[in-house]
Each structure stands twice: as C-alpha cells, then as structure tokens.
Amino acid sequence: MSNAGDSQQDPILRVGSNKDLRITLIGTGTIGLSFAAFHLAHLLGPSQLTIYDTRPNVSQYVEENLPKFFAEEPSAAAISNIRIATSLKSAVEDAHIIQESGPENLAFKKELWANVEKHAPEQSLFWSSTSGIPASQQAQDMQDKSRLLVVHPYNPPHIMPLLELVPSPDTSEEVIKRTQEFWTGRGRVPIHIKKETTGFVANRLAFALLREAVHLVNEGVVSVEELDSIVESSMGPRWAVAGPFKSYHAGGGPAGLESFFKNIGGTVQDCWQDSGKPDVGDGWEKKIFKQAHDAYGTVDISERDKLMRRVLEVLKEEKSKGAQTSEE
C-alpha cells in the first residue's frame, strides 16, 4: 500500500498521465526539434521541457527553427517556456525523462549515457532516437543498463503516431512498461520490438518495398513518378486503414489469411521468385535520382505534413467513432 501511495505521489513512476513532468531533450537536429514540438503540445500543467545541445547560441537557434514544426505559429509563451540547459549535469539532474536525438555515432552515445547516468535521478527513463545503434551497444559503459531503450520515431515525430520501442536484453520490463504508458497516454502508438533487429521493423518493411520499387523502375516497367502514383492510389490508403496482414486476412473471407494464400499463394510465390535484388551502388542510382529530381524538384514538406495531419485526424475520428459504436 505504501508502494502504491509512493507511485501515485512520485511523478517519475507515472509518466503516462503526469501533470508535473520534467523532460530533457539532448540534441536539436530535425528529430530533436520535432520531438520538442510534440512535447510542448503535450505538456500538461506546470511541466518543464529542457533542451541541451553543445551547438553555439542554442536559444536563438531553437527560437528560429522550432516554429516551423508547428501547424500554426506556437505562442511565444510556449517556446519561451523551454529551459535551455548549459551543462549536461544541469540538463538531467531533475529530469524524469531524458531523450537523446544526437549524432548517429556509437562513441558519442556510449559516453553520453555513462555521463547522464552519473547525474540523473535514479528512476528517470533514458530514451535514444537512434535509427540504427542498438541500446545494448549504447549501454556498454553504463552501471545500470536496465534504464535505457531505443524509442525510434517515424519521421516527423511531431506528426507520425508510431514509436518503435527497442529494448536491449538488459532493459527492465518496468522501464518498457512506463515508456509505453507515456506514449499511449499521449495518443501515440508505441510498439515493443522484441529483438534488436537491424533497422528495427518499420524501416525494414519500407526498404523491402523500396528495393522492389528500384528494381521495377530500373527495368523500365514504370517511372519513379508512376510508381509513387501506384502506391498512393492503392496500398498507401489501404494500409493507412488496415495493415498488410489484416488486409489480406480480410481478402481471404471468413477463412482469412489461410484462404488468401490458398487462392493466390502461387502468384505470391511467383512474384517473390521473380523479384529483383538490386543493391545500393549497383548502378541504378543515377537514373532514378534524376527521375525523382525531374518529377519533384524540392518537395514542399509543409504541404505534405498538412495533408498527413488531415489523414491522421480522419483515421482517429473514424476509429474512435467505430470504438464508440461497438461499445454501445
């Protein structure tokens, strides 16, 4: 009972719904700033967002670059609310969550976490945004390796719901659970990846499709722009609504995925057999880079992001309607 009481009083143990939470971001590249925009929009009550970066004039840099991550200009109060820390110690010594989006460099991350561990409160959570360096490697010089895990966003994290939570074999179950609660409490989709797989899951899936896309364009079957149109008008919207397994399971009727493979497993296998295996550096690059450049020039990301927000809003609206209906 005293444990339950403690956990209710100690904000650090209940990051999911906490109203008095101190989050520290280390690194202010694109991912760091995008997370800053997300956290600013989701801080409840008198919470504190702290930023630490060794770049010169961090305050000015953040003031200039953070606003473009908001759909509308953030209120001055919101940005002026950010505390800029001038040392790693002062950045982390009070923090409940320490989220790192620094350079993709193992030596940097190993040293960082060993230092963070010296100064951070005992129960604070350590998250790395890395897209490729496993927590087990980053934690090599830590005393207590149970607190660190990868929290890999899908770019840009202030818009996209997915977070891949990739613990090392040493990360504790409790740390994973508290991290899940934090993101679920903020309407996001944290998925626990059970093994430290190269590239995690989302990128591996996307790159598998990209490889076949490169092959088909390289063979002259369609152009870069036609391939994008195909995806945008078929599996893109389909998979926004129901992922590949669910879609093919639905396609199989009452007998589901089994029936799907019974009906068209032969075609699936023929496609797998015939699929290309281009490698990076194989010589397709020049042609495909040129086609992308000719078709798109420089993409207006703000337009894309606006549209992304709308699509995600609709999905959220309709899914919550669906949930209400099924609860009635």
CB atoms within 10 A of CB 49: 20
Task: Compute the distance between CA of residue 126 and CA of residue 23 in angstroms, rounded to an integer.
Answer: 10
Q: Rank residues 115 and 247 by Cβ distance to a copy of itself and give the closer one.
A: 247
Report phi then psi at 10, rounded to 5: -90, 105
Q: Closest by alpha carbon to 185, among 3, 11, 2, 6? A: 11
Q: CA 317 to CA 311: how far, in whole Å?
A: 10
Q: Quick one: which of 61, 70, 108, 248 contacts a copy of itself (CB under 8 A)?
A: 248
Phi, psi of 280 (to 5 degrees): -65, 130
Nearest approach, Cβ of 63 to a copy of itself (angstroms)?
22
- By CB under 8 A, is residue 149 in contact with a copy of itself? no
144 binds a copy of itself (CB under 8 A): no
Nearest to 124 by CA among 147, 101, 143: 147
CB of 78 to a copy of itself, least distance (A): 25
C-alpha to C-alpha distance for 308 and 299, rounded to whole angstroms: 14
| Interface stretch with a copy of itself, choices 8-16, 117-125, 173-181, 229-237 (CB under 8 A) | 229-237
Which of 15-23, 84-92, 170-178, 237-245 is the region at the interface with a copy of itself (rule: CB under 8 A)? 237-245
Q: Nearest distance from residue 110's CB to a copy of itself, in Å?
A: 19
Which residue do the tokens 């009452």 mark? 254
- The answer to whether residue 44 forms part of the interface with a copy of itself (CB under 8 A) is no
Segment 177 to 196, residues that bind a copy of itself, using CB under 8 A = 189, 191-195
State in angstroms the smallest separation of the CB of 292 from a copy of itself.
Answer: 4
Task: Report the alpha-carbon distance of residue 5 to residue 15 in Å, rounded.
Answer: 15
Q: Restricting to residues 196-215, name those near a copy of itself by CB under 8 A.
A: 197-199, 201-213
Phi, psi dihedral angles at 115 (to 5 degrees): -70, -45
Residue ranges in 269-288 that form contacts with a copy of itself under rule CB under 8 A: 269-272, 274-275, 277, 279-281, 285, 288
